[in-house]
Amino acid sequence: MTRADKPSAFGPYELVRRLAVGGMAEVYLARLRGEAGFEKPVAVKRIHPRLEGGEAGPDALVQEAKLSASLCHPNIVQTLDLSYAEGSYALVMEHVEGYDLHHVIGMLREAGRPFPIDLASHVAAEVCRALDYAHHLVDEQGEPVGLVHRDVSPENILLSFAGEVKLADFGIAKTTVRPSDPGTRMVRGKYFYMSPEQAQAGPVDHRSDIFSAGVVLWELLAGRRLHQAHDVASLLRDVRRAEVPLPSSLRAGVPRELDEIVARATARRRDERYPRAGAMADALTAYLRRRPAVHATRQLGEVLAGLRCRAAATPRPDEADVPRTRDHVVTQPAPEGAMPPKPTSGLEDTEQTLTGWRRPETSARRHRWMLVLAVGSLMVGILLWSLHGV
């Protein structure tokens, strides 16, 4: 059995079950055991076993651990430890008992329920508070580190049953000490939530994260993805155009004030966006204050509790169906004006797709179907020739 099939030990931690898997890493629910029956649930992020022998994966995890350890904010998932055992590293984080926002959106859609408008505003405001803190992080000498998350997306926004909102996964974050990716210019992040400049592989600053937060808010309000393209070239073209319709044009009841907040956050020109994520959070908070009393934390917890009851009535998926959303980050070269090839994760059985959670048809299967069609066409031709050519 593999390490994902049953509980196993990793240093002082017991890996209970796999929560998610991506192209680079796997995330496990784990337990830290101590004296006198002490136990603490944690989340453990390990490099995918196929990449453990290389350098890029472990190095990236160590860099993420060092950066995340300096972040201490109620809206950011806390990093607890960087553990080393069995010849590999693991990033140990607080376990947020709940669901990621992508999962919540999907479950509500299945139930035919839109995401509540005021709760959407609250979630976006909390994410912006986390970003504002991260963007203004300073080092030990008091110098700004210039942190940019670069992967603000529903998969990296965790909602707890207690009504908390937490931003996760600083794995591809950029700082002044890690200003760019080695080698060629790269597009890094999830295409659906990128800013235009990020999709161009150009220089990005904190305003790129503000754009991504605006797209997440747009999706919560409109009830669907902003971009509907089904191929990478078309999708990147749409992202670079940054044409964002008003949420109210797709969902009745969205206030004009929220239309204006989304429009400013997703402006194509960076200098037309909010100057800082905190300013966007302030605008959302001001909007909520003018609404009837919204007990957002309690209501968010109630929404998730209802989804938990719904999920409990559904049989637990097999290991093969473990969500493949966490850590699915596209990394592709993208020279100016050129469209990158279809993104892959580097793993044959977890190839990255535009939607980020489907396993695509393999090339072998496609070739098999092409062979079947060719043979079938030949047989039909022979049959017609025998009927009409004799």
pLDDT digits (tens, 9 = 90+) for 161-201: 999 999 999 888 888 766 555 444 566 778 899 999 999 98
The question of whether 151 is a catalytic residue gets the answer: yes
* 160 within 8 A of 126, measured Cβ to Cβ: no
How high is the pLDDT of residue 21? Answer: 79
The DSSP-derived string for 39-108 is: EEEEEEEEE-GGGTTSSHHHHHHHHHHHHHHT---TTBPPEEEEEEETTEEEEEEE---EEEHHHHHHHH
> Is the CA virtual torsion 42, 75, 132, 149 positive or negative?
positive
How high is the pLDDT of residue 255? Answer: 96
Among candidate residues 100, 151, 238, 327, the one labeled active-site is 151
Q: Which residue has the tokens 């797209």?
A: 215
> What residue type is assigned to position 83 of the chain?
S
pTM of the model: 0.79
How high is the pLDDT of residue 59? Answer: 77
Q: How far apart are CA 44 and CA 54, in angstroms?
A: 20
Q: How far apart are CA 246 and CA 248, in angstroms?
A: 5
Instruction: Give the SS3 label for residue 132.
Output: helix
Q: Residue 354 has what DSSP assignment?
A: S
pLDDT above 50 (res 62): yes
